[in-house]
Amino acid sequence: MQSRAVLLRRRPVGMPMPDDFELRASDLGPRARGFVRVKNRFVSIDPYMRGRMAGRAGYAASFALGETVPGRTIGEVIESDGPLKPGALVRTLSGWREVFDARPDEIETLDPRGLPPETFLGVAGVSGLSAYAGLTRIAQLKPGETLFVSAASGAVGSVACQLGRIMGARVVGSAGGPAKCAFLREIGVDAVIDYKAESDLAAALARAAPGGIDVYFDNVGGAHLDAAVGALRPFGRIAICGMISAYNADGPQPGPNLMQLVGRSARIEGFLTANHMDLMERFIGYMAGWIASGAVKYRDTIYDGIENAPRAFIGLFRGDNFGKPLIRIA
């Protein structure tokens, strides 16, 4: 059986380019006994992959050159001689590829609990959990507080905005362009900033949150973080989930004046969702209820065909995607 995969051909410098990747077809041959053959149905595209494509040391090892780009997928068992039957849905870390063989202990069965399987890569997966862990454990958001979220229409940001609303906060969201800002209003964001139409983000945030902010959920870094630190109220908290504006930069970027945190007894804390996986089961239970009741809405941008994984990935840094980018494999 033929399977196509997208390999990392060279390490991106600055904005990733299509030529940094290579599409390669291979013949899987017969499946070895004890292995299952899995066909990926949805493949996740994530910003963290950019850091791991770089050759420098980070919190996790770099992706290897000439190998399939690793990442989360939802697949379906198509051949097996063990207890996992063909048709079973599985979560895998098999990355940007169509079909692969795995030992049963390398994959995890998925109970979709009435949700579309692909939501377990986005709103009901690590993206959604990042928002949940960041707001509950790291920022400890309280009812009546003002929450500011950047990349607010994105996979993580859109969940952070809606959880903020559910937790009783006033929510200010920043996104690029009128369509994404309209979506934010649709999901109940109280004040919306189109950062691409603003020359002074601090002034825009002051208009959106005249009394300041209690919590900033950072997806972007840069000017957004600067503005948020300046607007922080006494005992404010900043949860750093990511800083996508710096992912294509070569080296450290200038940061905000952290002296401002002292007088306000404020706190800033980064987190890795991987350290909060103990919350996943509880979170999925809540999220299934929120989606069913309409309390949480989500958008995915679906690209058909594994050959489009580089395009979807590059789109993350250009604002091309709306919500979670996913590759669908027919």
Ligand X SMILES: NC(=O)c1ccc[n+]([C@@H]2O[C@H](COP(=O)([O-])OP(=O)(O)OC[C@H]3O[C@@H](n4cnc5c(N)ncnc54)[C@H](OP(=O)(O)O)[C@@H]3O)[C@@H](O)[C@H]2O)c1
In the complex, the residues that contact ligand X under the rule CB under 6 A are 46-48, 126-127, 130, 151, 153-157, 175-176, 180, 219-220, 241-245, 271-273, 316-317, 319, 321
Our CB check for ligand X shows the closer of 68 and 219 to be 219
CA distance linking residue 185 with residue 280, whole number of Å: 28
Our CB check for ligand X shows the closer of 12 and 157 to be 157
Rounded to a whole number of angstroms, the minimum distance from the CB of residue 19 to ligand X is 21
Our CB check for ligand X shows the closer of 76 and 226 to be 226
Phi, psi for residue 65 in degrees, rounded to 5: -70, 145
Residue 192, beta-bridge partner list: 173
CA distance linking residue 325 with residue 320, whole number of Å: 9
CA distance linking residue 195 with residue 68, whole number of Å: 35
- Please classify residue 177 by burial: count the beta carbons closer than 10 Å to its beta carbon, then call 0-12 exposed, 13-18 middle and 19+ buried: middle
Rounded to a whole number of angstroms, the minimum distance from the CB of residue 280 to ligand X is 13
Rounded to a whole number of angstroms, the minimum distance from the CB of residue 200 to ligand X is 15
Phi, psi for residue 28 in degrees, rounded to 5: -75, -25
Our CB check for ligand X shows the closer of 222 and 236 to be 222
Our CB check for ligand X shows the closer of 45 and 102 to be 45
Tokens matching residue 62: 């770099």
Whether residue 73 contacts residue 92, with contact meaning beta carbons closer than 8 Å, is answered with: yes
Rounded to a whole number of angstroms, the minimum distance from the CB of residue 40 to ligand X is 19
Rounded to a whole number of angstroms, the minimum distance from the CB of residue 39 to ligand X is 24
DSSP 289-310: HHHHHTSS---EEEEESGGGHH
Give the nearest residue (CB) to ligand X.
Answer: 242
H/E stretch holding 126 reads helix 126-133
Rounded to a whole number of angstroms, the minimum distance from the CB of residue 320 to ligand X is 7
Our CB check for ligand X shows the closer of 81 and 200 to be 200
Residues in the chain: 330
